């Protein structure tokens, strides 16, 4: 397993602790986070805003990695591809969301994170 893959495994595992400050520590200062059904956000403040939308309202979060692979450019940069099931317990609702995630890693931190998922699947389980 590459260092970049290890970083992403650690990041996904950290979600279970629901600590936004810990999660932000995985990102570069100028990182971009893009949940594809919505617009991208940049920097720690923007990423925090998105995380505050669902982390505090979840009593449990689990990111299960089903598959992972990565490509390295050899200059301290890599792209890590994941297939996941992200699970949330929000009040009396249990959410299971299939996700394809792409992480760009630079110097041991996440510089970009793009998640591809079906918004209707999320809405059907949360509303």
Which structural domains are found in the chain, ordered by start?
3-126 (3.10.450.50)
Average pLDDT over residues 47-61: 95
Average pLDDT over residues 87-103: 96
Query: Residue 92 and residue 69: Cα distance in Å, rounded?
Result: 34
| 110, 27 contact by CB (below 8 A) | yes
pLDDT at 127: 86
With cut-offs at 50, 70 and 90, classify the pLDDT of residue 75.
confident
φ/ψ of residue 92, rounded to 5: -95, 10
- 3-state DSSP helix/strand/coil percent for the chain, to nearest 5? 30, 45, 20
Secondary structure of residue 109 in the 3-state scheme: strand
pLDDT at 125: 92
Average pLDDT over residues 107-125: 95
Closest CA to 73 of 41, 111, 33, 104: 104
In this prediction the pTM is 0.94
Report which of residues 76 and 1 the model is more confident about.
Answer: 76
């Amino acid at each position: 397993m590459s260092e970049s893959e290890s970083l992403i495994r650690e990041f996904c595992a950290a979600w279970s602790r629901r600590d936004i400050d810990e999660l932000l520590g995985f990102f570069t200062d100028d990182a971009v986070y893009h949940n594809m059904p919505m617009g991208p956000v940049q920097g720690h403040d923007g990423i925090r805003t998105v995380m505050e939308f669902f982390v505090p309202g979840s009593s449990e979060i689990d990111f299960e990695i089903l598959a992972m692979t990565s490509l390295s450019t050899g200059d301290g940069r890599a792209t890590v591809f994941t297939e996941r099931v992200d699970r949330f317990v929000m009040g009396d609702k249990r959410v299971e969301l299939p996700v394809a995630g792409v992480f760009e890693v630079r110097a041991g931190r996440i510089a970009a994170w793009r998640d591809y998922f079906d918004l209707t699947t999320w809405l059907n389980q949360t509303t």
